[in-house]
Amino acid sequence: MEKNKTAALREQILRASGVNPKKCMRCGKCSGTCPAYDEMEYHPHQFVYMVETGNIEPLLHSESVYKCLSCFACVERCPRGVEPAKLIEALCAAVTRPQGANHMTPDDIPALLDEDLPQQAIVSALRKYMK
């Protein structure tokens, strides 16, 4: 991705999330509390740092963007109030907004139904990935 597009995307993500990544001291507490940690290629503190430095290209192609549970455990744990989940959500929206890039459609729901999975989780996932 060219430098101007990357900078514009970075600004879009920062504006949409309202997060100031410069407040991050990279202590890793957000990642340590993340229930999806083992499933993610990039962890919450890494997302923050990569957006801060403008190294967004790897994040655009990472499945980690879709592994975030939006539980906001990272937000609660951050001693500096950085809110990594908001940054990840803004990045996810920026990735899925182009037409055809959605990762979930209503037709996908029947395959996901499970008696142990709360219906709210499916509705939440559909809302998240249909943006």
Domain ranges of the chain: 3-97, 102-131
64-87, pLDDT tens digit by residue? 888 888 889 999 999 999 999 999
| Burial tier of 12 (Cβ tally within 10 Å: 0-12, 13-18, 19+) | middle
For residue 131, what pLDDT is reported? Answer: 52
Which residues have C-beta within 8 Å of that of residue 111, sequence separation ≥ 6?
Answer: none
Element (H, E) at 125: helix 119-129
Which stretches in the chain have pLDDT values below 70? 1, 97-104, 126, 128-131
CATH of domain 3-97: 1.10.1060.10
The overall longest dimension of the chain from CA atoms, in Å, is: 47
pTM of the model: 0.73
